[in-house]
Amino acid sequence: MLLQMSQITKTYGKTTANSAVDFTLREGEIHALVGENGAGKTTLMRMLYGMEQPTSGSIRLRGQTVTFASPVDAIAAGIGMVHQHFMLFPSFTVAENIVIGREPKAGPSFDRKKAVQQVEQLCADYRMPINPLMKVADCPLGLQQRVEILKVLYQGADIIILDEPTGVLTPLEARDLLVTMKSLAALGKSFIIITHKLHEVMEVADRVTVLRDGRIRGTLDTSATNAEELSRLMVGRELADSVKQASDPGEVVLEVRDATLYGGKGRTSKAKAREEKPVLNGVSLQVRAGEVVGIAGISGNGQSELIQAIAGLQPLDGGEIRLQGTSIAGRSPLAVRGLGLAHIPEDRYQWGAAKDGTVLENGIMGHHRSSARFGLLAGRKLRTMVAGWISQFQIKAGSQEQKAKVLSGGNLQKLIVARELEGSEPFLIAAEPTRGVDIGAMELIHEELLRKRSERGAILLVSSELTEILKLSDRIVVMYEGRIAGELAAEDATEETISLLMAGGELRV
C-alpha cells in the first residue's frame, strides 16, 4: 500500500472535523473522496499535505511513519496538491509558474531558457502539451489546471491531490482532465480527487471513499457501486428528483435588445476596444414571468459580461436592457436591485460576499434596508431570518458571528443562494447557483429555483453544467463568441445539440 492514514482525528475546540478516519491509496490508483459540504474531505487532505496537523492518528507512506509539519515536507515526500482556487501568477509565463521555487540557475541568475526547456521536456514526458511561453493570464481555465498539475509533477509528486478539479471547467475541459488523470495513473502516478460530481467519480476513479459528518461511511470499488448508492451514503437518505411542471410564461420581465460591448472589463479606452472583436455582439433575449431561461456556453463567450451588464456592474456600448419595462442603462447595481433584481453571482468571493464580514452580515446584505426602522437594524428579526437559512440549507457555521472566509466554499454558496432567494424580487439571475455544493444542497437549490418559478418569478440561469441547464430550463439560449448561436425549447434540447452550438456549429433543419 502506497499510503495509509489510520484513525485520523481532527478537532477544533468542541468541533470534530474528522473522527477516526482510515484512508488508503495504492500506486497508480485514482481514489475519489466524496461527501457533503463540511463532511471533512478537505480537512483530511490538508492534513496529508501538511497544512494541518492531526489531533490523533498516524500516516504511513511507503511503509514508513511520517509527519508533515508543512507543505514543504509533503512536497519533499512526493505529495502535491492542486487547490480548488488556482495558485498561479497571471502575469508570469507557464514556464515561470511551473518552476517557481525550484528555478534553474545560470550562476546567480534565473536561467529562463533552461526553464523553458525543462517544461517542454516535462510536457513531452507526461503528454500534456502547452506553450511554456504563454502568459497564464491568457490561458483558459482548462490550461491553468494543466499548469497546476505540471507544477506538482515538476516538484516530483507521485501522489497528486485534486480539490474539486472540474468545478470551474467546461464539459470539454473536464473530459480532457479525466483523460489526463487516467494517462498519468497508467504511468504510475496516484491521485486523490475531492469532488461532488458522481458521474466523474464513476468514470475515472478506481475506488471511492464516502465521508459524512467527519466519519467514513464506506470505501467501495467503483466497479461494484453506482451513483445512487454513493448518494445515499453521502446524505444518509434517498434523494428526491425535482419535478418541473409545465411552464406558463406571462409578461416580459427582462428584455435585452441588441446588447453590444467592446473590450469588457479593464479596457483602456472605447476607441481601442472597438478595434477588437466585441465581447457582446448584438445580444437580444427575453425572460418572462414564470419561466427559466438557461444560458449555455463555454466560459469566455460573453455570459459573464451579459450578467454584469444586466446587474448594473458593466455599462453597454450599445443596445438596451429593460427590467419590468424600465431602462436600466447607466443605473447603479443598487438602483437595479431596487427595480426588482436578485443576483446569485458566478464568483461567490468576488461578487457575492464580504469575506471578512460575519455570516450574519453577509446574510443580511440586501435585506437590511427593509428591516431597518429609524435608521436602526431589526437585529432579532434578521438573526431569526439567517438562522432559518442555516437550518434549511444545512449551512455548517459555528455561529452567525463566524467570519464568512472560514466557511467552506460550498457553505458560503448556500448562504448566498438562500439570501438571494429570500426576497420577493420578480427577476433572478442565477449564475452557477450550485457551483461547489454537495448533491443534497444541489437538490434543495433546484427545488427552490423551481418554487420561485412557480410563484411567477423570472429566472435567467447561467451554468456550465449542461445537466443543470437541461433539468431546470424552459428555454435554452447558447452563446458563442459574444452572440446568440441558437435558442432551443427544453423539450427539443439535448447535450449533443447544445454542445454543437457551444462549439460554433449549426443545427441541421
The whole-angstrom separation of Cα 464 and Cα 470 is 11
Claim to verify: residue 193 and residue 117 sit in the same structural domain: yes
CA–CA–CA angle 498, 502, 505 (5° rounding)? 90
What's the grid cell of residue 255?
A: 428584455
56-61 and 207-212 as β-strands: parallel, antiparallel, unpaired?
unpaired
What distances in angstroms separate CA 398 from CA 40, 193, 353, one per listed residue? 15, 27, 18
Give start and end residues of each alpha helix (H) in 264-422: 270-273, 303-310, 333-338, 359-364, 379-392, 409-422
Is residue 498 assigned to a domain? yes
Claim to verify: residue 406 and residue 445 sit in the same structural domain: no
SS3 state at 327: strand
Claim to verify: residue 419 and residue 429 sit in the same structural domain: no
pLDDT of amino acid 444: 87
pLDDT of amino acid 397: 86
Cβ atoms 222, 200 nearer than 8 A:
no
Claim to verify: residue 405 and residue 471 sit in the same structural domain: no
Q: Whose CA is closest to 31, among 259, 222, 169, 233?
A: 222
Contacts of 325 (CB under 8 A, 6+ apart): none
Claim to verify: residue 212 and residue 265 sit in the same structural domain: no
pLDDT of amino acid 240: 57
Claim to verify: residue 207 and residue 169 sit in the same structural domain: yes
Claim to verify: residue 79 and residue 108 sit in the same structural domain: yes
Cβ atoms 75, 155 nearer than 8 A:
yes
Claim to verify: residue 180 and residue 223 sit in the same structural domain: yes
Domain stops at, among 235, 264, 293: 235
Tell me the CATH number at 131: 3.40.50.300
Max Cα-Cα span within the chain: 73
Is residue 282 assigned to a domain? yes
pLDDT of amino acid 138: 85
Is residue 349 assigned to a domain? no
Contacts of 149 (CB under 8 A, 6+ apart): 82, 128, 160, 162, 180, 184
pLDDT of amino acid 237: 67
Domain stops at, among 235, 264, 298: 235
The whole-angstrom separation of Cα 275 and Cα 420 is 38
Q: Cell numbers 487547490 correspond to what residue?
A: 83
Residue 22's identity, in one-letter code, is: D
pLDDT of amino acid 374: 43
Is residue 142 assigned to a domain? yes
Cβ atoms 72, 156 nearer than 8 A:
no
The whole-angstrom separation of Cα 201 and Cα 3 is 20
pLDDT of amino acid 508: 64
DSSP designation for 405 = G
DSSP designation for 138 = G
pLDDT of amino acid 238: 61
What distances in angstroms separate CA 360 from CA 273, 367, 380, 393, one per listed residue? 41, 11, 11, 15
Claim to verify: residue 257 and residue 229 sit in the same structural domain: no
The alpha carbon torsion through 415, 418, 420, 421 (nearest 10 deg) reads 170
Burial of 10 (0-12, 13-18, 19+ CB in 10 A): buried
CA 431 to chain CA mean position, Å: 11
Radius of gyration of the CA atoms of the chain, in A: 24
pLDDT of amino acid 268: 45
Domain stops at, among 235, 262, 279: 235
The whole-angstrom separation of Cα 167 and Cα 437 is 10
Is residue 116 assigned to a domain? yes
Claim to verify: residue 376 and residue 483 sit in the same structural domain: no
pLDDT of amino acid 266: 46
Q: Write a three-state SS string for 167-178.
A: CCCCHHHHHHHH
Is residue 244 assigned to a domain? no
Burial of 422 (0-12, 13-18, 19+ CB in 10 A): middle
Sign of CA dihedral 445, 451, 453, 458: negative
User: Containing domain of residue 262, as a range?
Assistant: 252-340+425-502
Put residue 184 in one of left, alpha, beta given phi > 0 → left and psi -120 to 50 → alpha: alpha
Burial of 124 (0-12, 13-18, 19+ CB in 10 A): exposed
pLDDT of amino acid 495: 81
pLDDT per residue, tens digit, the chain (509 aa), is 899 999 999 998 888 899 999 999 999 999 999 987 778 898 999 999 999 999 999 999 999 999 999 999 999 999 999 887 788 999 999 999 999 988 998 888 899 999 999 999 999 988 888 999 999 988 877 788 889 999 999 999 999 999 888 876 767 777 888 988 999 999 999 999 998 788 889 999 999 999 988 999 999 999 999 988 888 888 776 655 556 677 789 999 999 999 999 975 444 445 544 556 799 999 999 999 999 999 998 777 899 999 999 999 999 999 999 999 999 988 999 999 999 999 999 888 888 889 899 999 999 887 666 555 545 555 688 889 899 989 988 888 889 999 988 888 888 999 999 999 988 899 999 999 988 787 778 888 999 999 999 999 999 999 988 888 999 999 999 999 999 999 999 888 888 888 888 878 776 65
In total, how many domains does the chain have? Answer: 3
The whole-angstrom separation of Cα 138 and Cα 136 is 5
